[in-house]
Structure 1
Amino acid sequence: MKTKDVIILAIESSCDDTAAAVLCNDRVLSNVVATQEIHEAYGGVVPELASRAHQQNIVPVIHQALKQAGVEKNELSAIAFTKGPGLMGSLLVGTSFAKSLAMGLNIPLIEVNHMQAHILAHFIEEDNNKKPQFPFLALTISGGHTQIVKVNGFFEMEVIGQTQDDAVGEAFDKSAKILGLPYPGGPVLDKLAQQGNPRAFEFPIPKVGGLDFSFSGLKTAVLYFVQRETGKDPEFIEKNLNDICASVQYTIVQILMKKLKKAVKETGIREIAVGGGVSANSGIRKSLTDARNNLGWKTYIPKFEYTTDNAAMIGIVGYLKYLEGDFADQRVAAKARYSI
């Protein structure tokens, strides 16, 4: 590394993954994630258990990230951390550790918005990967968020559409739970959907104005559908599982793509970047690829390890803010609700 290089240690603890990464400028040197399997028994994230697990994981995860990167603490230029949004208890662990470490090393502290990080993960430099050109539309889809964002610059973002109730990731997970699939259900549903007929069963597409989304009605429709059909045949789910999963996934993808196409039409922007854990879904990736081929969109999908919650995306935002001298002070506090 050169003396002019910016070395960022990034910390992410917004939900149930404890993550740390080290970046040299815009390149990732290490990206370590510790997942919390304890939540599987409860079928969802338990906030109190998550914060306790973060306390156990944060020191070894950061130690491993520095070790893999071959970086000593005294070589760090700054500490970047997730300020929000997320679970308050989880955020407090990462925020407190970042503040303490930055103070101890006497280096700058950089606060990061988790949702901005999902969008700016596209600007991690890796094998001359293509990056979206400003302005572009970002579809951020995760377990807690569903948004369409107009991105005019690194920190010039405008939310032009968002969910009015549940996030798309929750719709996947809750539908999977109704079908008796293990947690987290989204990836399992996706795998089964690839073996089914997406038009086997029809589910309603919510009528929501503008560019906003709604998924609560779809979850209810899936629940009533399963209750009705299993009332007729107790083995209905077992006999039709792949087709049910494919039909649910097809409906969710249709909801997302319908709004995204509307956003493209209204803004005239054909540069489309997707981010968040749900962007790993095969149906969504295929639809974006089809749009690129058939509609002339330029689509950008990050590598899988940069879609789910990770610290590399926090680090790239930290690097960009470092270049602007945008630092936080020791009074900074975690925020469970933190808009772009």
Structure 2
Amino acid sequence: MPDCLGIDTSNYTTSAALYCKQGILQRKKLLPVREGALGLRQSDAVFHHVQQLPELVEALLKESDGCIGAVGVSSRPRDQAGSYMPCFTVGTGVARSLAAALKIPLFYFSHQAGHIAAALYSAGCMEWVERPFLAFHVSGGTTEAVRVTPDPEGILRADIAATSLDLKAGQAIDRVGGLLGLPFPSGRAMEALALASKAEFRPRASMKGGNCSLSGVQNQCEKLLREGAPKEDVALYCLLSVHAALDAMAAALTEKHPGLPILFAGGVSGCSILRERLSRKYQAKFAEPDFSSDNAAGVALLASLRLNHIMGNE
């Protein structure tokens, strides 16, 4: 099969990937965020993607020793009506130009589908594309679980099964990270700090049915700080609060959909504190760290699956 190029211009990472005989080759670069800030305006994200994407694609294509058979790109955050973010227009524009110049197919996918595909690949679960399963997408912009069903055309069909009703897990972590003076995004620094804590917490999840609420996490962490708790204890409490919410969501979903395996994708799911507890309790599969954060790997993989389907029908 020819190589397939994937492109993803998400809110905080520019990335390109190549699915080829060597496996998946990746090039990605975080968008620069001013110190002390808790994010970027979309106009700034678009500008930085315009600057960063060409150099990543150029570097990646130099590593390809075969022909490019298709281009895949993230064109929207999720496979839901009205799902849109301006930053994805940068990737789609470059992808359209490359596909037209090379006279090869161009396939559009959601950012979420790319996360799920990358997680399947790195967790060694690619056979799941032929069966229903549950997937959690846990990141700065999304905290939800979807029921994924197989599609004969090589597209992952995802229907929302549970979600956060307010803050997303990554937002909660970044806000508490700001209180603790951690860099943005705060996930890795928060995890390192939490692992130094010896405290024991059992935070309770705030739930409405199978959906969670994370808006109270920041208030509880602020209270701990006012009471003089060490920063490492506050970091642990924050991550355990996220775990409690995900645990409650998973418990509700396994009761509603017995027998379906569970996959975790997205940058927040790369946290070892979450991974250890949830994988043990639910036998859940997790993306490897390099495939859990925003990446174009899953998009390249989906493009290959889609191309395989088309070529198999010719």
Q: So what's the TM-score if we normalise by structure 2?
A: 0.87
- Preserved CA contact (<8 Å) 1:203 1:222: no
Equivalent residue letter for 1:61? L
Equivalent residue letter for 1:42? A
Equivalent residue letter for 2:60? A
Match of 2:80 in 1: none
1:55 to 27, 32, 50: 50
Structure of greater Rg: 1
**How big is each residue's C-alpha offset from its partner over 1:299-321, in whole Å with a ceiling of 9 and x where there is no partner?**
21122111111111111111222
> How many Å separate the matches in 1 of 2:195 and 2:300?
34
**How big is each residue's C-alpha offset from its partner over 1:33-91, in whole Å with a ceiling of 9 and x where there is no partner?**
022234445232232222111111111100111112334xxx21111111011873321
Residues 56/151 of structure 1: CA separation in 2 closer, same or farther (3 Å cut): same
Deviation at 1:187, TM superposition (A): 1.5
The reply on whether 1:305 has 2:300 as its aligned counterpart is no
> How many Å separate the matches in 2 of 1:125 and 1:184?
23
Match of 2:215 in 1: 216
Match of 1:31 in 2: 26
Deviation at 1:204, TM superposition (A): 5.1
The 5 Å alignment of 1:327-338 reads: none
Deviation at 1:29, TM superposition (A): 4.0
- SS in structure 1 opposite 2:4? strand
> How many Å separate the matches in 2 of 1:259 and 1:312?
27
> How many Å separate the matches in 2 of 1:118 and 1:198?
33
Equivalent residue letter for 2:189? V
The 5 Å alignment of 1:80-229 reads: 80-85=72-77, 88-124=85-121, 129-131=124-126, 133=128, 134-154=131-151, 155-199=156-200, 203=203, 205-206=205-206, 208-226=207-225, 228-229=226-227
Equivalent residue letter for 1:89? P
**How big is each residue's C-alpha offset from its partner over 1:3-53, in whole Å with a ceiling of 9 and x where there is no partner?**
xx132111110212111111127x634210022234445232232222111
> How many Å separate the matches in 1 of 2:200 and 2:38?
28
Equivalent residue letter for 1:217? G
Match of 1:338 in 2: none
Deviation at 1:195, TM superposition (A): 1.3
2:272 to 269, 279, 282: 282
> How many Å separate the matches in 1 of 2:199 and 2:84?
34
Equivalent residue letter for 2:93? S
- SS in structure 1 opposite 2:59? helix
- Preserved CA contact (<8 Å) 1:80 1:98: yes
- Preserved CA contact (<8 Å) 2:14 2:52: yes
Equivalent residue letter for 1:56? Q
Deviation at 1:97, TM superposition (A): 0.9
**Percent identical residues:** 25
Deviation at 1:277, TM superposition (A): 0.5
- SS in structure 1 opposite 2:137? strand
Listed as ranges, the gaps of 5+ residues in structure 2 are 78-82
- Preserved CA contact (<8 Å) 2:203 2:240: no
2:263 to 246, 262, 273: 273
> How many Å separate the matches in 1 of 2:120 and 2:188?
26
Residues 325/132 of structure 1: CA separation in 2 closer, same or farther (3 Å cut): closer
Equivalent residue letter for 2:69? S
Residues 156/53 of structure 1: CA separation in 2 closer, same or farther (3 Å cut): closer
Question: Root-mean-square deviation (CA), in Å?
Answer: 2.3
> How many Å separate the matches in 2 of 1:132 and 1:278?
24
> How many Å separate the matches in 2 of 1:262 and 1:255?
11
Question: Which moves more between the two structures, 147-156 or 137-146?
Answer: 147-156
> How many Å separate the matches in 2 of 1:122 and 1:308?
10
**How big is each residue's C-alpha offset from its partner over 1:218-261, in whole Å with a ceiling of 9 and x where there is no partner?**
223333443x42xxxxxx25xx1111211221121111111102
Match of 1:13 in 2: 9
